[in-house]
């Protein structure tokens, strides 16, 4: 995938960031976790709001709804080329939540969150090819991170990600490479089962584009993996409602502190 060189915007994003030493048994690392260069493609699919609510802890904010009864699942493939931990890949399953500052009205709440570029998400699952990343993000951040195989490749104008655990397919997602540009930074509040309060992540999409299209992405679910079966049970369709291609992203995961 294309790797974009640093520029003034990225320098400003990471300049002055205060980091500190941290450790878990047998591993020293820096906080916050910084992704200096990465590439992503992501799709949002319609899902049953009732079934999504059953996947969330009772104290969690409610799943956001596009239409009454229709919630959302976001699947994202990440390919990181410049991090403290070396290059590695991740894949996440996220439930978008209602932003607490606005009325919990289908579509309205999502549109307000988009204009303020502040979103609230429940992180349901996250796979990683890095054992070190799994130890830090699961042990320190209490994210649902687990070691898995995530192969990302290119086929002409398409990107393909195949996500497996111990050889068993979870999903295969394809996304089109479409023209991208600078967009505003995004602040994400991340909720998990493992930590009672939201954790903050800042994203700098140096090049990114989002389209309301189902023709730019394709999703195939595995047949037997527990996550694949879970997705099959909540998704109303494997046709995406929204697709994002980000050939150059930066991310700072601030963690519980």
Dist CA 66 CA 109 (whole Å): 9
9-255: what fold? Acetoacetate decarboxylase-like (2.40.400)
Q: Does pLDDT of 59 surpass 60? A: yes
Instruction: Name the pLDDT band for 10 (thresholds 50, 70, 90).
Output: very low
DSSP structure string for 60-79: SPPBP-SBTTEEEEEEEEEE
Answer whether residue 9 shows pLDDT above 70.
Answer: no
Please report which confidence band the pLDDT of residue 2 belongs to, taking 50, 70 and 90 as the band edges: very low
Cβ neighbourhood burial of 48 (10 Å; 0-12, 13-18, 19+): middle
Phi then psi dihedrals of residue 40, to 5 deg: -140, 155
Q: Is the pLDDT of residue 195 over 80?
A: yes
| pLDDT-derived band at 33, boundaries 50, 70, 90 | very high
Mean model confidence pLDDT for the chain? 93
**Could you give the CA distance from residue 159 to residue 161 in angstroms, rounded to a whole number?**
7
* CA 194 to each of CA 32, 125, 186, 210: distance values in angstroms, whole numbers, following the listed order: 18, 12, 23, 30
The percentage of residues in the chain with a pLDDT greater than 70, rounded to a whole number, is 95
3-class SS at 234? helix
The predicted structure's pLDDT at residue 3: 40
Does the global pTM surpass 0.85? yes
Instruction: Give the pLDDT score at 135.
Output: 96
Angstrom distance (rounded) from CA 127 to CA 199: 18
Q: From the DSSP assignment, how many helices (H) and strands (E) are in the chain?
A: 5, 14
pLDDT band at residue 255 under the 50/70/90 scheme: confident
Q: What angle do CA 66, 59, 141 make, to 5 degrees?
A: 95
Calculate the CA 11 to chain-centre distance: 23
- 5 DSSP 8-state letter: P
| Tens digit of each residue's pLDDT (9 = 90 or more) over 34-48 | 999 999 999 999 999
What pLDDT was estimated at residue 169? 98
138 phi, psi to nearest 5 deg: -85, -40
Contact predicate 89/73, CB 8 Å: no
Return the DSSP state at 120. E
For the chain, which residues make up each domain, given as ranges?
A: 9-255
pLDDT at 196 (0 to 100)? 86
Close Cβ partners of 17 (under 8 Å, ≥ 6 residues apart):
32, 34, 252
136 Cβ neighbours under 8 A, 6+ residues apart: 24, 27, 29, 33, 85
Residue 152 binned pLDDT confidence (cut-offs 50, 70, 90): very high
pLDDT at 11 (0 to 100):
53
Q: What is the pLDDT of residues 73-105, one digit of tens each?
A: 999 999 999 998 999 999 999 999 999 999 999
Kindly report whether the peptide bond that precedes residue 32 is cis, defined as omega within 30 degrees of 0. Answer: yes
- Given this model, what pLDDT does residue 4 score? 40
pLDDT of 141 above 70: yes
**Residues in CB range of 152: below 8 A, 6 or more apart:** 1, 77, 79, 89, 159, 160, 161
């Amino acid at each position: 995938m294309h790797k974009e060189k640093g520029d003034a915007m990225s320098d400003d994003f990471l300049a002055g960031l205060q980091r500190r030493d941290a450790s878990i048994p047998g591993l020293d690392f820096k906080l916050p976790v910084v992704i200096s260069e990465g590439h992503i493609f992501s799709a949002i699919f319609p899902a049953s709001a009732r079934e999504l609510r059953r996947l969330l802890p009772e104290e969690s904010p409610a799943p956001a709804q596009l239409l009454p009864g229709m919630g959302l699942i976001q699947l994202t493939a990440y390919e990181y080329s410049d991090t403290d931990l070396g290059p590695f890949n991740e894949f996440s399953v996220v439930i978008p939540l209602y932003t607490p500052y606005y009325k919990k009205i289908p579509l309205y709440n999502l549109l307000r969150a988009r204009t303020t570029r502040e979103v609230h998400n429940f992180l349901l699952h996250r796979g990683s090819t890095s054992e070190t990343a799994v130890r830090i993000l699961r042990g320190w951040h209490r994210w649902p991170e687990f070691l898995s195989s995530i192969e990302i490749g290119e086929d002409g104008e398409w990107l393909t990600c195949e996500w497996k655990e111990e050889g068993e397919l979870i999903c295969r997602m394809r996304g089109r490479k479409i023209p991208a540009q600078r967009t505003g930074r995004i602040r994400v509040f991340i909720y998990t089962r493992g930590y009672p309060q939201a954790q903050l992540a800042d994203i700098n999409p140096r090049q990114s584009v989002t389209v309301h299209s189902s023709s730019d992405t394709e999703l195939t679910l595995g047949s037997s993996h527990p996550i694949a079966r879970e997705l099959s049970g909540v998704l109303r369709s494997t046709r995406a409602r929204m697709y994002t291609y980000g050939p150059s992203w930066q991310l700072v995961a601030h963690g519980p502190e």
